[in-house]
């Protein structure tokens, strides 16, 4: 996930920026310093390669937040115009990669600890950059929004600024190769960072990228409220593994109505706002259950295991003593699972209506008693119309309302890297001591 790989790059970089007088950290002899400097350059090349790849992936979504300047009629159209700060930063990084004589670090170098404290920090950054290539690949970037792409540009700009600062600190390292046009590269990174900050970057990009496969929790039921949490987790996992049938989907909807209603008294002792939110969630699922009662179709054939886990969760919750105190972290875990399940159910219902997989039972009028014809079946099925069932659409969309999702913040690692970039060592006053 991009949150993990991004933090794994920023934390060692912040530590490197806080380390001054780097020469004595590289070794005692010039040969040791030259060897350590060459390893650092290989790791730096790997970091720059990720920066270039990330900017190329998000380039279709990067737009400048600065107002466009009025075109000069005495200049040729397209000459020097339409260049965004992110695009200029990408060109500067590609130029640095082209003139860098150090090759990229190998897999063995990225995965094997160096044993050198200073070089080890560079290896950790390069290793995280190699892993981040999966989290910012074009397939992942195509699912991003423009504010999420701006957050990636801001991360790349901060990392490039850190590389430029560290490049200047190695000017005394034997056989060290500086970044080509490092001054222009640093100004391009600063311009891209300032341009992003004029807008509102969306840090929910941290939730994108590669995720480990989530598995059900095996074994017997956990004691107390942990058993409810276990069953709810297994419900979310099993419902996402196969498309449920409409019957099993109704069972899951009913289980969430009962869970939210019975959990409200436990949450009210810790967090009144969460209790009110769960009470509203129970009302929403009650409306969804009533609106979904006359709907059937061929959405899928699975969901039986998920419905059984929902029944287990309700049964375990009902067996809890009324005076049970639920810890805040358990309430937070339940809320996280509720949010994922609500979003999944909303997507299932909307996709089923859009694809015509749902059908609604319609009652035809009674035929005239004087008719000699054979009375037809009064119950018929018709595809669910999104216009006629606007109430159902509004109900499922209210489950996944944006206001119910927690707002993503930049995180501690971004703040630490920014603080390390703007840090200046304290200057001691020069003069004679009295």
Contact in structure between 193 and 154 (CB atoms under 8 Å): yes
Q: What are the C-alpha distances in Å from 120 to residues 6, 73, 129, 166? A: 17, 54, 14, 15
Reported confidence tier of residue 241, pLDDT bands at 50, 70, 90: confident
Across the range 49-62, mean pLDDT stands at 88
In terms of C-beta distances under 8 Å and separation of at least 24 residues, what long-range contacts does 257-261 make, across chains too?
257/282, 257/285, 257/286, 257/289, 258/282, 258/314, 258/317, 259/228, 259/232, 259/310, 259/313, 259/314, 259/317, 260/285, 260/338
Reported as a single tens digit per residue, the pLDDT across 374-422 is 555 555 666 777 667 777 888 888 887 654 455 567 888 889 999 988 8
Mean of pLDDT over the chain:
84
Query: How confident is the model over 357-386, as a mean pLDDT?
Result: 63
Percent of the chain whose pLDDT exceeds 70: 85
Q: Tell me the C-alpha distance between 54 and 134, whole Å.
A: 10
* DSSP helix/strand/coil, 387: coil
Which range, of 59-63, 110-114, 284-288, averages the lowest pLDDT?
Answer: 59-63
Any idea which of 13-27, 313-327, 360-374 has the lowest mean pLDDT?
A: 360-374
Residue partners of 279: CB distance under 8 A and separation at least 6: 260, 261, 264
Q: pLDDT value at position 73?
A: 55
- pTM, two decimal places: 0.70
Distance CA 134, CA 207 (A): 13
Digit-coded pLDDT (tens) for 137-149: 888 888 888 889 9
DSSP codes of every residue in 251-272: HHHHHHHHHHHHHHHHHHTT-H
Question: How would residue 433 be classed by pLDDT, with cut points 50, 70 and 90?
Answer: very low
Q: How many CB atoms neighbour CB 178 within 10 A?
A: 13
Find where tokens 């034997």 sit.
Answer: 174
Q: Which of 316, 306, 317 is nearest to 236 (CA)?
A: 306
Percent of the chain clearing pLDDT 90 (strictly above): 40
For residue 434, is pLDDT > 50?
no
Could you read off the pLDDT of 59-106 as tens digits, one per residue? 887 766 655 555 555 554 444 444 788 889 999 999 999 998 888 999
Residues 289-307 have pLDDT tens digits of: 988 887 877 777 888 999 9
């Amino acid at each position: 996930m991009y949150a993990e790989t991004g933090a794994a790059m920023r934390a060692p970089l912040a530590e490197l920026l806080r380390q001054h007088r780097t020469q004595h950290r590289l070794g005692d002899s010039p040969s040791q310093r030259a060897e350590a400097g060459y390893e650092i350059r290989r790791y730096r090349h790997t970091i720059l390669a990720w920066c270039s790849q990330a900017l190329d992936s998000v380039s279709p979504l990067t737009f400048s937040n600065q107002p466009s300047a009025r075109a000069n009629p005495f200049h040729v159209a397209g000459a020097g115009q339409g260049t965004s700060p992110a695009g200029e930063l990408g060109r500067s990084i590609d130029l640095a990669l082209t003139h860098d004589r150090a090759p990229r670090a190998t897999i063995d170098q990225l995965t094997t600890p160096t044993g050198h404290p200073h070089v080890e920090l560079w290896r950790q950054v390069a290793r995280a950059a190699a892993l981040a290539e999966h989290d910012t690949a074009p397939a992942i970037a195509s699912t991003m929004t423009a504010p999420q792409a701006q957050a990636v540009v801001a991360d790349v700009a901060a990392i490039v600024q850190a590389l430029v600062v560290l490049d200047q600190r190695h000017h005394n390292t034997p056989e060290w190769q500086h970044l080509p046009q490092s001054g222009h590269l640093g100004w391009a990174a600063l311009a891209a960072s300032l341009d992003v900050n004029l807008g509102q970057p969306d840090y929910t990009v941290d939730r994108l990228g590669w995720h480990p496969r989530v598995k059900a929790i095996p074994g017997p039921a956990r004691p107390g409220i942990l058993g409810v949490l276990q069953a709810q987790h297994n419900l979310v996992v099993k419902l996402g593994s196969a498309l449920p049938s409409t019957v099993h989907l109704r069972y899951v909807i009913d289980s969430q109505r009962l869970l939210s209603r019975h959990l409200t008294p436990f949450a009210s002792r810790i967090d009144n706002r969460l209790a009110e939110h769960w009470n509203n969630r129970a009302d929403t699922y009650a409306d969804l259950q009533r609106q979904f009662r006359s709907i059937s179709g061929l959405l899928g054939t699975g969901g039986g295991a998920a419905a059984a886990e929902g029944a287990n969760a309700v049964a375990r919750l009902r067996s809890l003593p009324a005076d049970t105190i639920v810890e805040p972290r358990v309430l937070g875990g339940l809320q996280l699972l509720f949010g994922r399940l609500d979003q999944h159910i909303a997507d299932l219902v909307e996709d089923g209506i859009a694809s015509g997989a749902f059908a609604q039972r319609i009652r035809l009028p009674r035929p005239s008693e004087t008719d000699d014809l054979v009375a037809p079946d009064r119950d018929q099925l018709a595809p669910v119309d999104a216009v006629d069932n606007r109430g159902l659409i509004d109900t499922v969309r209210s489950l996944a309302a944006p206001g119910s999702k927690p707002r993503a913040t930049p995180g501690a690692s971004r703040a630490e890297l920014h603080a390390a970039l703007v840090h200046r060592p304290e200057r001691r006053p020069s003069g004679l001591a009295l």
